[in-house]
Amino acid sequence: SMNLTVRSQTLNVRCAAFNNDIKCIDAQDFPPLPPAELDDGITLNVDDLRSMIQQVTFAASVDDARPVLTGVLVEVNDGEMTMAAAD
């Protein structure tokens, strides 16, 4: 099940033994994104993408006191994708 508490902007996701709270931010707090250049896309194998994600997510901080470290940097240049995280 998924429950969104608007006052605290927290999304609670529950499935079997999994239970996690995800902090959300109102979309109005972000500037609009420019249209995507669809010609610049890349194609990835699902298993390769999964492996890349597993290799960086352990390094992403879970401490909300330093939110800048809670994400993963994803860059795509010249048909290659790079991911990085720091805890």
Q: What is the pLDDT of residue 2?
A: 66
SS3 letters across 30-79: CCCCCCCCHHHCCCCCHHHHHHHHHHHHCCCCCCCCCHHHCCCEEEEECC
Residue-wise pLDDT for 6-22, tens only, equals 677 888 888 888 888 88
Mean pLDDT of the 62-71 span: 81
The reply to whether 31 falls in a domain is: no
Q: What is the pLDDT of residue 44?
A: 87
CB 12 within 8 A of CB 19: yes
Could you give the number of structural domains in the chain?
Answer: 1
The reply to whether 70 falls in a domain is: yes
The reply to whether 16 falls in a domain is: yes
Residue-wise pLDDT for 34-53, tens only, equals 887 777 678 889 999 999 99
For residue 58, give its domain range: 2-26+40-84
Q: What does the mean pLDDT of the chain come to?
A: 83
